[in-house]
Amino acid sequence: EKKYRLLFQNYNSGFALHEIILDKKGKPFDYRFLEINPAFENLTGLKGKDLIGRTSLEVLPNNDSHWVEIYGKVALSGKPVSFENYSTALNKYFQVNAYSPEPRKFATVFVDITEKKIAEGKLISSETRFKEVVEMLPEAVLETDLNLTITYVNKRGLEMSGYTKAEIKKGVNGLNLLSKESQILAKEYFQKRLLGINPGKVEYIAIKKDGTAYPILFHANSLITDGKISGLRGIIVDISELKQAE
């Protein structure tokens, strides 16, 4: 027991023991966590104290049903399987070996192969998925470095500013998109952000590439890299129509 316990605790692959849960018709619909090893916590980001004794749907309400289908067959038939599958709830791809040590129970041994799948082009990274969503927003979104040089702007932001993506890549300072009066206010805003102060939403006068001025509502959060503020991510709303109505 001590030998196997030591192997279990120091195994580099994730390991978990579960029991399958059946509905009234005898069909698998969920499973309960009975035991996990430290590698399981490291690979999934889930903690044993939050898992043991609870079901997968209690811990991961958005857990994909195909996991239950696969594990249900293993627990009920006793036939082991080896497969690769994607977890929407964890946004990771795993290579899994599953077997049944006793009736209605199954054990899994798995490794994270997310980076491999991204390299193969079979999985969209969370950052890529985020940028795809941002590109469809009706509001402008931009990111800057500590010098307020724009490092990213979405499609709406390009439309509002009049700049092209190629021009932004060459380096455009976010302050150049504002009137002189607003530039002063924006510098003060950024200094407060560096100190961890949230000034909330502010109004500025923005300047398009062709010189046209228009009012905007701006709000930004600090970008954090390695625990330090590395820039800003801001949302910009054109409030010209609102101002005209007022």
pLDDT attached to residue 34: 95
Per-residue confidence at 127, pLDDT binned at 50, 70, 90? low
- Give DSSP secondary structure letters for 41-110: HHHH---HHHHTT-BHHHH-TT--HHHHHHHHHHHHH---EEEEEEETTTTEEEEEEEE-SSTTEEEEEE
What is the C-alpha radius of gyration for the chain, rounded to an integer number of angstroms? 26
pLDDT, residue 27, reads 93
Mean pLDDT of 96-103: 94
Distances in whole angstroms, Cα of residue 171 to Cα of each of 64, 164, 221, 225: 43, 11, 21, 20
pTM given for the model: 0.49
From 132, 102, 89, select the one nearest 34 (Cα to Cα): 102
> Looking at residue 192, what is its pLDDT?
86
Residue 219, Cβ density class (10 Å: 0-12 exposed, 13-18 middle, ≥19 buried): middle
**Under 8 Å between Cβ of 213 and 206:** yes
Q: With bands split at pLDDT 50, 70 and 90, how would you rate the model's confidence at 159?
A: very high
Residue 245 in this model has a pLDDT that exceeds 60:
yes
Say if residues 206 and 191 touch (Cβ distance below 8 Å).
no
Whether 123 has a pLDDT exceeding 90, the answer reads no
Place of tokens 């289908």: 69
Res 246 pLDDT > 80: yes
Q: Does residue 124 have a pLDDT over 60?
A: no
User: pLDDT per residue over 46-62, tens digit each?
Assistant: 998 999 999 999 988 87
* Percent of all residues in the chain with a pLDDT value above 90, rounded to a whole number: 55
Cα separation, 80 vs 101, whole angstroms: 10
pLDDT at 92 over 60: yes
- For residue 185, the SS3 value is helix
Return the pLDDT at 226.
Answer: 76
Name the residue with higher pLDDT: 195 or 202. 202
pLDDT at 90: 84
Alpha carbons within 13 A on the beta-carbon side of 134 = 19
Name the percent of the chain lying above pLDDT 70. Answer: 93
The length of the chain, given as a count of residues: 246
For residue range 6-60, what is the model confidence (pLDDT) as tens digits?
A: 766 777 889 999 999 999 999 999 999 999 999 999 999 899 899 999 999 998 8
* pLDDT score for 191: 87
